[in-house]
Every structure is written in structure tokens, then in C-alpha cells.
Amino acid sequence: MTNEITDSLIKNLNKRLTTPLYGTFLVSWVVFHWKAFVILLFVSEDKIWQSTGLLKSDYLCKIVYNFQSIYFYISWIAPFILTYFVIWKFSKWFSLPAFIKEEEHRTAKKLVRIHEQKKIEMEETNLEKESIKKLEVVSEKTKKQEEILKSDPTISWLEEYKNFFKKYSNKDFNPIIESLYQHRGYIRMQNFEIPKEILAYAHSSGLINIDYGSNKIDLTDKGKFFVKNFTLNP
């Protein structure tokens, strides 16, 4: 029963002393009565007896409760005043403005971060728009090229014609001309045959049609274009 009462008192005392009000007052009181605490904790009773002729407890009472000294009244009133200023005034004058400034600083940093993030997002959006515009330009250009090629396929045929003669010579193309205009389009006859490589290229490139039944070839429009340019620039 006694232990429970003691524990309860200790808990309540600890709770009160750790609150800002009681804690501030206690610290203030200790500051104004520091001499009594130093004597209580660090000065032996023998030494006090030798120097004052008083017991330690009597000497402490004389220091703390010296009603004839003006300091006695100051040391008891000042902790109350200091506690009042620390709890109610100092927080209003210093702590609260400091807290407001700190929060303003945090808010300013957040706003800067948000602003910079928006700049990044804007730049990314602009880059994306530029990429889309470039793709649209390329797509439009490709579309126009396709329309031009549809209306005039000879533009692409001329490029193929040039590429053909980068790989093959006039001599390689001559068997096609000879077959069409000397051998009535036959692929092979006595002492004549179109080489397989040039025949395969001409057929796969859409220059000729092959009639396997008659073993003959005839020119497509593209093939006629090749022959025309070949004859003009042999």
C-alpha cells in the first residue's frame, strides 16, 4: 500500500515537473538559489560547522529564508515573473515569430520546388510537342511524296534505273533488249538465252512479265521506261 502511494506521488510529481509551467519555474528558482544547491550537494557539514558554527540544515535555512535580505524577496518573486515571461510573453515575442518565419521558409522552398517542377514539365511538354510536329512534318512529307509518286511513278523509276546501272552494266541489260526486239520476246532460243540473274532481277523489279507457257517475256510500263532511258543513254 505504501509503495503504491509513493509511486503515485512520484508519477504525479514527475508529470508536474515536466510540464512547461512547473519546469520553467523550477529552473528559474534553481537559478536564483544556486548557492543553496551547491552547498546541499557539494559542501560537507563539517566544513560548514568550521566556517559558520551552524549545522548544514540551519545554514541552508538561513540562506534560503533570510527575511532581512532584499535578495530573499527578489529570489522568490523573480522566478514567478521569469516563468510568466517565458511561458506567455517570450513565446509570443520570439518563439511564435521564429516558428512563423520557419514555416514561411518551408513554404517558400516548397513553392520554388513546385515552380521548378512545373518548368521541367513545361519543357518536357514543349519537347514532346516539337517531336510531334517533326513527326507530322515527316508524315506530311512522306504523304506528299507518295501522292507525287502515284501521280508520276517515273520519279521513283528513274532512281531505280540509276541504282540498276550502279550494279549492272549495259552489257547485262542488252539480253532483255535483244530478246524483245530480235527474238520476239523468247527467253531462250538456239544460240541465245537471257541470263538467269538479269531475268530474275527484271521480273522481281516489275520490268517484265513472264509467260511460262510460251516461254516469252513482255515489258511492263516500268520496263518500257527502263528501255527508253537505256536507248537514249546507252
For residue 66, CA distances in Å to 71, 113, 116 come to 8, 62, 67
Quick count: other Cβ atoms within 10 Å of Cβ 169? Answer: 8
**Distance from C-alpha of 136 to C-alpha of 133, rounded to nearest angstrom:** 5
Residue 177 domain boundaries: 154-232
Quick one: pLDDT at residue 35?
76
Quick one: pLDDT at residue 150?
64
Query: Considering the domain boundaries, does residue 184 fall inside one?
Result: yes
Do 15 and 97 sit in the same domain of this protein?
yes
Q: What is the pLDDT of residues 118-174, one digit of tens each?
A: 888 888 888 888 888 887 777 777 677 666 656 677 778 888 888 877 777 777 788
Residue 14 pLDDT > 70: no
Cell numbers linked to 189 = 532460243
Query: Considering the domain boundaries, does residue 210 fall inside one?
Result: yes
The answer to whether residues 218 and 211 touch, using CB atoms and an 8 Å cutoff, is yes
How many structural domains is the chain composed of?
2
Quick one: pLDDT at residue 177?
84
Cell numbers linked to 98 = 521564429
**CATH number, residue 202:** 1.10.10
User: Which residues face 216 on adjacent strands?
Assistant: 186, 211
Quick one: pLDDT at residue 67?
72
Quick one: pLDDT at residue 8?
61
| Choice between 89 and 225, residue whose per-residue pLDDT is larger | 225
Residue 207 pLDDT > 60: yes
The last residue of one of the domains, among 103, 131, 162, is: 103
Give me the chain's average pLDDT, please. Answer: 78
- Residues 37, 39, 44: CA angle, nearest 5 degrees: 140
Q: What is the pLDDT of residues 24-72, one digit of tens each?
A: 777 777 777 777 777 777 778 778 787 777 777 777 777 777 777 787 7
SS3 content of the chain, % helix, strand, coil (to 5): 80, 5, 15
Helix count and strand count (H, E) for the chain: 11, 4
Query: Considering the domain boundaries, does residue 74 fall inside one?
Result: yes
Query: Considering the domain boundaries, does residue 149 fall inside one?
Result: no
| Choice between 85 and 233, residue whose per-residue pLDDT is larger | 85
Contacts 24+ apart (CB under 8 A), 134-139: none
Longest dimension (CA), the chain: 152
Do 11 and 91 sit in the same domain of this protein?
yes
**12: enclosing H helix or E strand:** helix 2-17
User: For the residues 9-26, what does the mean pLDDT come to?
Assistant: 65
The answer to whether residues 173 and 147 touch, using CB atoms and an 8 Å cutoff, is no
User: For the residues 165-193, what does the mean pLDDT come to?
Assistant: 82
Quick one: pLDDT at residue 16?
54
